[in-house]
């Protein structure tokens, strides 16, 4: 397989690379100088895919780490880090803003580049770790040392393949492979195609232990990749089981395909509102869409909470006789989120059974009858039960009742979402929604799941 054509498209041009490397060096030089000038005991590092030479064309964020000695008080580290970040941003006429990961950092738009200034501690190995970002410098050093020059292209191919099959990115929205994990896979397996070959045979709990630490037994994750810079950490911990499975099947599909090149390009999608509505209609599915405001919380908090909440509602629907065929959530990540339930059945009859105690527990039976009256009480197997009017014979009515102050505690709602859901949710008809293509693309993914993993 000749990858030149695709590499031509995804690999930064020499001039693009020169530009970014120049800018990176200027920033490093400036910060190093500033530290000396201000008598700050900090070292400046370029980290991430730009420094490793494994970034895809157009995805050239510059990650600058300002590392302080381990004995620096955390408040001093934060403050000095922010001051230096702002100073650098100003010096290069950037537009800066503050963000929060494990501690605050500065992001600045400088020229055409997105530059992150991240204060951290200078550690020698994982055991000295003070915050999650501290190990980034160790990661960068490891990759620079062990990834061979020709393998940088292989990393690009793997990242692109994963991106186009929907498995790239360790952020919670995706739950897929991190860039660092891709690089370790190429170090382990040599090339992109060999990685796919090997992955196609992975079993649950597959172990990659480049430094032979022998610590894999510590981890129960589907994929265990011992961090070469920290024997007590699994780089694959954030990889969701379904994303691992999708990658494995994508790899097999690719290896069996006569049209391998297509796996490096986006699929063609149906993203019109009309198509979506017509499709659900042809499938005979009732669709319930529920819209609400989202709170201002980090995306890596928002996404898992949305997923947990929509899943919990679907579970309750299923447990109460309604039949959820598929469900999902979509958010613009700014102001609104929508839960969508595709129902195999959204309407039930109007009678229900209120299950009481076992007949053999006399006192409980007495209490049940005292509470509900003897009317309509009868025996099912060895339970005392009562025939009652079904509280909600439509799925919408059921959800409506669930999303109340009193009942919302019965489901698992992301804790930051409870208030905004209660305050702002409303049911909506798909036809009435005026939303970006991204929403209709999400609906299309519900209608045609798995379209990314095959060509």
Residues 395 and 323: their CA atoms lie apart, in Å, by 9
Minimum distance of a copy of itself from residue 138's CB (angstroms): 32
CB of 376 to a copy of itself, least distance (A): 8
Could you tell me which stretch among 35-43, 71-79, 197-205, 292-300 binds a copy of itself (CB under 8 A)?
A: 197-205
Given a contact cutoff of 8 angstroms between Cβ atoms, the answer to whether 105 and 81 are in contact is yes
Spell out a b/e string for 246-281, using b for 16 or more CB atoms within 10 Å of the CB, else e: bbbbbbbbbeeeeebeebbeeeeebbebeebbebbe
Which two tokens mark 254? Answer: 């690719």
Q: Which of 132, 130, 113, 112 is nearest to 121 (CA)?
A: 130
Helix (H, G, I), strand (E, B), or coil: what is residue 286? strand
User: Which of 6, 115, 223, 384 touches a copy of itself (CB under 8 A)?
Assistant: 384
Minimum CB distance to a copy of itself smaller for 92 or for 325: 325
Match 């500033």 to its residue by tokens: 34
H or E segment at 320?
A: none
In whole angstroms, what is the distance from residue 269 CA to residue 445 CA?
A: 9
- Examine residue 454 and tell whether it contacts a copy of itself (CB under 8 A): yes
255 contacts 204 by C-beta, under 8 angstroms: no
The residue (of 349 and 426) whose beta carbon lies closer to a copy of itself is: 349
**Rounded to whole angstroms, how far apart are CA atoms 389 and 349?**
9
Q: Is 365 in the site for a copy of itself (CB under 8 A)?
A: yes
Q: Does 407 bind a copy of itself (CB under 8 A)?
A: no
- By beta-carbon proximity to a copy of itself, the closer residue of 30 and 325 is 325
* Residue 202 within binding range of a copy of itself, rule CB under 8 A: yes
Task: Using DSSP bridges, classify how beta strands 113-121 and 62-68 pair: parallel, antiparallel or unpaired.
Answer: parallel
Is 321 near a copy of itself (CB under 8 A)? yes
Partners of 67 in beta bridges = 43, 120
Binding mask 150-189 for a copy of itself (x = CB under 8 A): ----------------------------------------
- Cβ atoms < 10 Å from Cβ of 2: 7
Q: Which of residues 121-150 bind a copy of itself (CB under 8 A)?
A: none
Instruction: Indicate the length of the chain as a whole number.
Output: 455
- Which residues between 46 and 105 bind a copy of itself (CB under 8 A)? none
Q: How far is the CB of 322 from a copy of itself (least distance, A)?
A: 8
**Footprint of a copy of itself on 278-317 (CB under 8 A):** 282-286
351 binds a copy of itself (CB under 8 A): yes
Task: Report the nearest approach of a copy of itself to the CB of residue 182 (Å).
Answer: 20
The structure tokens listed for 1 are 């397989």
User: Does 203 help bind a copy of itself (rule: CB under 8 A)?
Assistant: yes
Question: Which of 348, 364, 408, 422 is in the footprint of a copy of itself by CB under 8 A?
Answer: 348
- Window 229 to 258, contacts with a copy of itself (CB under 8 A): 241-242, 244-246, 248-249, 252-253
CA distances from residue 270 to 267, 273, 452 in whole angstroms, order as listed: 10, 9, 13
Question: Using an 8 Å Cβ cutoff, are 4 and 24 in contact?
Answer: no
CB of 275 to a copy of itself, least distance (A): 16
* Nearest-approach distance from CB 314 to a copy of itself, in angstroms: 14
Q: Of 277, 344, 364, 408, which lies in the binding site for a copy of itself, with binding defined by CB under 8 A? A: 344
**In the bound complex, what is the minimum distance in angstroms from residue 323's beta carbon to a copy of itself?**
5
Q: Please name every residue paired with 289 in a beta bridge, in sequence order, or none if there are none.
A: 340, 428
Rule CB under 8 A: say whether 269 interacts with a copy of itself. Answer: no
Determine the Cα–Cα distance for residues 67 and 118; give it in Å rounded to an integer: 8
Indicate whether 347 belongs to the interface with a copy of itself (CB under 8 A): yes
Strand, helix or coil at 242?
Answer: helix
- Would you give the distance in Å from CA 22 to the centre of its chain? 32
220 binds a copy of itself (CB under 8 A): no
Q: Please, which residue, 209 or 393, has the CB nearer to a copy of itself?
A: 393
Tell whether residue 450 is a contact of a copy of itself (CB under 8 A). yes
- By the rule CB under 8 A, 387 interacts with a copy of itself: yes
Among positions 323-342, residues that touch a copy of itself (CB under 8 A) are: 323, 325, 342
Place of tokens 């910060």: 31
Cβ-based burial of 90 (10 A; exposed 0-12, middle 13-18, buried ≥19): exposed
* Short-list 376, 375, 379, 387, CA closest to 357: 379
CB of 337 to a copy of itself, least distance (A): 23
Q: Which residues bind a copy of itself (CB under 8 A)?
A: 200-204, 222, 241-242, 244-246, 248-249, 252-253, 282-286, 321, 323, 325, 342-345, 347-351, 358-360, 362, 365-366, 374-384, 387, 393, 448-451, 453-454
């Amino acid at each position: 397989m000749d990858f030149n054509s695709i590499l031509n498209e995804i690999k930064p041009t020499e001039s693009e690379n020169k530009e970014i490397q120049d800018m990176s060096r200027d920033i490093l030089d400036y910060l190093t100088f500033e530290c000396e000038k201000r008598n700050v005991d900090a070292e400046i590092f370029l980290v991430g895919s730009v420094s490793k030479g494994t970034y895809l064309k157009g995805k050239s964020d510059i990650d600058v780490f300002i590392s302080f000695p381990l004995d620096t008080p955390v408040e001093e580290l934060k403050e000095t880090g922010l001051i230096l970040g702002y100073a650098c941003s100003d010096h290069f006429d950037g537009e800066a803003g503050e963000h929060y990961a494990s501690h605050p950092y500065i992001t600045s738009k400088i020229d055409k580049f997105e530059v992150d200034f991240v204060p951290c501690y200078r550690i020698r190995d994982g055991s000295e770790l003070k915050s999650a970002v501290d190990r980034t410098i160790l990661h960068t050093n490891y990759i620079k040392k062990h990834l061979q020059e020709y393998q940088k292209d292989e990393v690009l191919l793997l990242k692109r393949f994963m991106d186009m099959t929907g498995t790239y990115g360790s952020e919670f929205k995706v739950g897929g492979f991190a860039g660092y994990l891709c690089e370790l896979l190429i170090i382990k397996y040599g090339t992109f195609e060999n990685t796919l070959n090997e992955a196609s045979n992975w079993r649950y709990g597959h172990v990659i232990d480049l430094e032979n630490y022998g610590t894999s037994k510590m981890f129960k994750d589907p994929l265990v990749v011992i961090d070469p810079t920290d024997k007590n950490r699994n780089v694959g911990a954030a990889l969701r089981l379904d994303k691992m499975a999708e990658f494995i099947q994508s790899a097999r599909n690719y290896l069996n395909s006569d049209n391998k090149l297509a796996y490096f390009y986006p699929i063609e999608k149906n993203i019109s509102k009309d198509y979506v509505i017509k499709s659900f209609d042809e499938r005979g599915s009732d669709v319930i869409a529920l819209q609400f405001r989202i709170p201002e919380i980090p995306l890596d908090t928002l996404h898992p909470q949305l997923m947990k909440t929509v899943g919990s509602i679907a579970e309750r629907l299923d447990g109460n006789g309604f039949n959820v065929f598929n469900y999902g959530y979509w958010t613009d990540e700014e102001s609104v989120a929508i839960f969508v339930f595709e129902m195999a059945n959204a309407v039930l009859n109007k009678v229900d059974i209120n299950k009481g105690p076992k007949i053999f527990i006399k006192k409980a039976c007495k209490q049940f009858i005292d509470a509900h009256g003897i009317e309509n009480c009868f025996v099912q197997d060895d339970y005392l039960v009562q025939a009652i009017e079904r509280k909600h014979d439509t799925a919408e009515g059921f959800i409506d009742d669930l999303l109340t102050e009193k009942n919302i505690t019965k489901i698992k709602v992301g804790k930051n979402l409870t208030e905004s859901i209660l305050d702002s949710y409303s049911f909506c008809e798909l036809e009435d929604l005026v939303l970006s293509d991204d929403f209709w693309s999400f609906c299309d993914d519900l209608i045609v799941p798995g379209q990314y993993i095959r060509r």
